[in-house]
Each structure stands twice: as structure tokens, then as C-alpha cells.
Chain A
Amino acid sequence: MRYPLAASMLALALLAGCSSTPMTSDQGASVEDRTASSAGAIPTVRPDQMQGAGLAALRDPNNILSKRAIMFDYDSFTIRGEFMPLVEAHGRFLAANPQMKMLIQGSADERGSREYNLALGQKRSDAVKKSLMLLGAKEAQIESVSLGEEKPQCTERNEACYAENRRGEMLYAGEF
């Protein structure tokens, strides 16, 4: 029972962070600038050593942010309703953590040309990228690429497997 509670509290925290940011953005930015210049300290960004509470959330199996895969219908590049909460959570997370970088790997099922499937996978990763940007993620934070049919999650030949392989996978720096 405590897991759903923790998850919803974190979601609330994220929502709060997200909604309050635009209103106080000017003041917040100036304070940060002063601190940085007066101290003279330049922070070291280590993309492969993720830190902070938000980063733990990425690994917490009970947090929606630990889920990364979005499945697509055949010949489709539309994010289905069931995956919108997941995309929203990552979009807000990226917006709230501008130092975070993401690689989205799109995939296609194995039927047909490898190169054409690479292009289809790209359309899927691009669709995820666009949705994340609508939620406040910055273009510079996200690279959308395609694995085509080359890295299937499921290797059987049936519709369930093909559906599993038509996907977009969201990976943060250090995870790929």
C-alpha cells in the first residue's frame, strides 16, 4: 500500500514543481545567477553518475518514471492514451531537470526492409520527442534515434511479439 502512496506523493511533488516554476521563473533565475557568479564555483556535471531524489525515482520500480517503453500500433506513430501518463511524467521530469539528457530509441517489428523499418522506428522516437517537448522538455535534452528492427525485445513471430517490438524506449544519459 505504501508504494502507490509514495508514487502519488512524488507525482504531486513533480506537479507542484512544474506548476510553480513558470510563476517564479524570473526571480528564481536571478537568484541562481548571483549565487553562481559570487561563489565562482563551476558545477561538474557527471551524466553517468546520476544524483538527487529525482534520479532515485528513475530507478524506483514503483515510480512511473522507471517505466520507459511506449508501444505503438501497426503502421502507427500515435501515442496511445494508455501511455500518455508515462510520457507526461517524463516530460515534466525533463522540464524540471534541465541537466538531464535523454535518448529515445524507436523500433519497428521485423517485417519488411531493414532500412525502411529504421525510418519507421525514427518516426516513433520522433513522436515521443515531440510529446515530451510539448510538456516542457527542451530540444537540446533529447535525441531521438531508431534501432529499426535490429534490437527486438521479443523474438517470436506472432502479433503479440510484433506489438511489443513496435516501441519507443526512453533512456537517460548513463543508461545506454
Chain B
Amino acid sequence: MKLTDLFRYLLITLLAATALSARAQLSIEITGAGANRFPVAIAVMEGESQLPRGVTDVVRGDLERSGLFSLIEMGPKPVGETATPDFAYLRTRGADAIAVGTVVPAQSGKYELRMRLYDTRQEAQLDALTLTMTPAQYRITGHKIADIIYERITGLKGVFSTQIAYVVKSGKQYKLQIADSDGANPQTALASNEPIISPSWSPDGTRLAYVSFEAKKPVVYVHTLATGLRAVAANFKGSNSAPSWSPDGSRLAVVLTKDGLSQMYTVNPDGSGVTRLASSSSIDTEPAFSHDGQWIYFTSDRGGSPQIYRISTQGGRAERVTFDGSYNVTPRPSPDGQTMTYIARTANGFQIAIMDVATRQFAVLTDTGRDESPSFAPNSRMILYATEIGGRGVLAAVSSDGRIKQRLSVQAADVREPAWGPLPR
């Protein structure tokens, strides 16, 4: 690590710690990075001092935390959007790309941010865009710019402007919180004295389904985030749990015990139209739709130990997916349909594993032993999950190749049950 990088890292950590004390938000620490990080320069944007905080820092922080980029130090001097970058100099500094931008006042108190991304070796423009923003939107604007840079360089969708949901337990209070993907702007959607588990985002990002124990038993609710209005999606005699949205958002897979053992059903998000999905004489739980809606992956103990199976949403026989080990649970198919993440019990405990859906080859991605509740980023590149460090619940993220590792924690509270939201529409 170069001195400048070290300084930046310390500065980011310091800023994060400052933010933490003020807002008790998630702070992100990188604990592992990609082997070949793409060197990119993000110049300070001209005119951003008109905003409450700089957009540049948000972009840099996002790219840095992704573990896929190394930031080339550019100094404090802003570079405007109209300037032609000094490509030869940038190449000597090792930067393969540079982003420059300008913030200018627009109508009715808004600002316009004009940004350009260049390839320094080809000396060619990769992208150019103009975003309109209110001063308070400096963070989301920065996330959008980071998404563009990420997509242009890696070919994958950026996920910096997504949100995450998670549950914070402090004392006897449970809070279902929604925050930006970098942990900023945490907002509490539900505060309860009873546990909240299994949050699941609707595909359009407007609603969360979850299990709340506020009625002294598990009941599935669908919560519209903008209004705070809740609908009971499943409250049958017995337990109601494990909600998971169909890819088109029209149905929810749930687990009910109204007919005996824990079995899978689908319901409309308003609780109507209950249909049994499959019948077995064992526990069937943790249903999750494949990206194309063709399959339901689930956990079942029909073979004597909990293993992962899948069944066609059209019906038919269940097919066993995991064979190694005596405990494989919580299947979560990736949004791109290539892989599935799940929890495997290994000699080291409960760990995040990933399986190639086509070849059924699998690998353990983490080195912690109390991992649970994995959730794919919408670009299928990162997996957010809950684990424990120093006796406290924290969130962590690992790349699907296992190289990039991040840790997200809140001071003096347990964080668990993460769910990564969809791409903004």
C-alpha cells in the first residue's frame, strides 16, 4: 500500500468513525481486495464546493470499497468537465482511466453535474453524462457516477446506488432499517420489541416482505416503504415465515404450518390467493425463486439432514441440489442465473458457499464460522451476509470469487438479516 493510499484509507476510516458517532450508521471496512485492481483517477469536481459535501469523495469511496479499483491520487486541484486531461501525465501516474466533472447552478435551486470518463491509453472518451440534482442529493449523485464508471470499466452493472435492508438489535429493541449500499442514511422502517427476520425486497424496490413476531408468533407482512402501510400477507394458524418474491413481483412464496409441518405456499402480496406449492412429509422451508421464475430452491430435511432441493414452479418432482456435508441451507439463486449461494456447515462452522448451477461445483467463500442469511447484490458480483465477529452480529460482504471482503458494522448493536435491494428504476 502506498503512503497516499494509506493516508486516504485512514482518512476514510476517520470520516466513517465521525459519521458513526453522529448517526450510528453502518461503517464499511475492506478486509480483502481483488488481485488486479483497475487504476483509475477521479479528479476533484469543479464547483462542488457549492454543495453541502463533495460528490468526488462519494465516488472515490464507492470505487475504493468495491475492491476492484485502485485510486490514483490527483491532488486537491479540481479538473473541470470541459478540460482535456493530460493523458501522457496520467499514464505516467499509472491511471488507465480518469473521471472529470463540473457542478453548475441550474434552475430553481438545483445543480447540474456534468461528467466525462476517459480512457487514458486510447485517449478516448468512454462516457459523458449530465445529472440534475438538489444540493442534498450529493450522495446519490456520487453513487450514480460511481455506477457509470463501474459499469464502463467492468462491464457489470454498478450497485452503489442500491439500498440494503437489515435488522439491528440493541437491547430488547429490533429495528428493520434501510440504508444506502455504503451504510449511509439509515432509516428505520419498523421498530418493535419483538424479533423481525427474513426481510425480502419486492423486485421494484418499493416494498419489503418480512416476518415479525409482534403477535407473539411469526406473521408475514408486506410493508410499503414510502407510506409505512403494512398488509398481512400470511397469518394462518401456526407459523408463517420465509417470504420470497417472485421475479415479477406478483406472488410471494411463504412457509405455513396451517396444514401440519412447515410447507411451501404462494400467496398474493395482499394475503389472498393461497396456493400450495408442494407437499411433503418433511420440513420444506426457505423458498427462493430462480431469476427466471422457473424454479423454487428450498431447504428440506426429507433426506434425513437439511439439504437444498429445487422444484419447478409448474410442479413435478423435487430435485436434490446439494450432496456434500450434513447441513446445507438457505439457498439464494443469483440474479444472473449462473450461481446459487447458500450456507454450508463445514469443519469450520456455518459458512457462505457458492455453487455453479450448471456444473454443481461449489466453493466456500468465507473464513468465518457463524455465517447466515446470504443475499446477492443485483449484479451477482457480491454476496451480503450476516456473521459474527468478537461476539457481535455484523454484516459482511464477499465477492462471488471470494477475493473481495468487506465488513459492515454498527457500534454497540447486533446487525443481522441483511437483504440487498434491487437496482433503482
Contact = CB atoms under 8 A, between A and B. Distances in A.
A143 B238 CA distance: 6
B299 interface: yes
A150 B241 CA distance: 13
Given A122-B257, A150-B195, A151-B195, A116 B329 contact: yes
12 contacts: A112-B372, A113-B286, A113-B373, A114-B373, A116-B286, A116-B329, A116-B330, A118-B239, A118-B262, A121-B239, A122-B239, A150-B197
A58 interface: no
B255 interface: yes
B216 interface: yes
Contacts of B141: none
A116 B216 contact: no
| Contact count band on B | 20 to 34
Contacts of B372: 112-114
Interface in B342-384: 343, 345, 350, 372-373
A146 B218 CA distance: 7
Contacts of A148: 197, 218
A118 B211 CA distance: 11
Contact of B218 (A103, A113, A145): A145
A148 B216 CA distance: 12
Given A113-B299, A113-B372, A116-B299, A103 B217 contact: yes
Interface in A115-129: 115-116, 118-123, 126
B77 to A, nearest CB: 51
Interface in A97-118: 103, 105, 111-116, 118
Contacts of B290: none
Contact of A123 (B255, B283, B343): B283
Contacts of B255: 115, 118-119
B329 A112 contact: yes
A113 B330 contact: yes
B202 interface: no
A123 B285 CA distance: 13
Contacts of B180: none
Interface of A: 103, 105, 111-116, 118-123, 126, 143-148, 150-151, 176
Interface string B207-219: 0000001001110
Nearest to A114: B197
Contacts of B238: 122, 143-145
Interface of B: 195, 197-198, 213, 216-218, 237-239, 241-242, 255, 257, 260-262, 283, 285-286, 299, 306, 327, 329-330, 343, 345, 350, 372-373, 417
Nearest to A143: B237
A148 B373 CA distance: 15
B239 A115 contact: no
A115 B261 CA distance: 13
A119 B299 CA distance: 10
A118 B216 contact: no
Nearest to B198: A115
B216 A119 contact: no
Given A115-B299, A116-B299, A150-B195, A122 B216 contact: no
B192 to A, nearest CB: 12
B287 to A, nearest CB: 10
Contacts of A113: 286, 299, 306, 329-330, 343, 372-373
Contacts of B329: 112-113, 115-116
A33 B197 CA distance: 48
A115 B198 CA distance: 8
Given A103-B217, A122-B262, A150-B213, A115 B242 contact: yes
A121 B241 CA distance: 12
A150 B330 CA distance: 17
Contacts of A146: 217-218, 239, 257
A122 B217 CA distance: 11
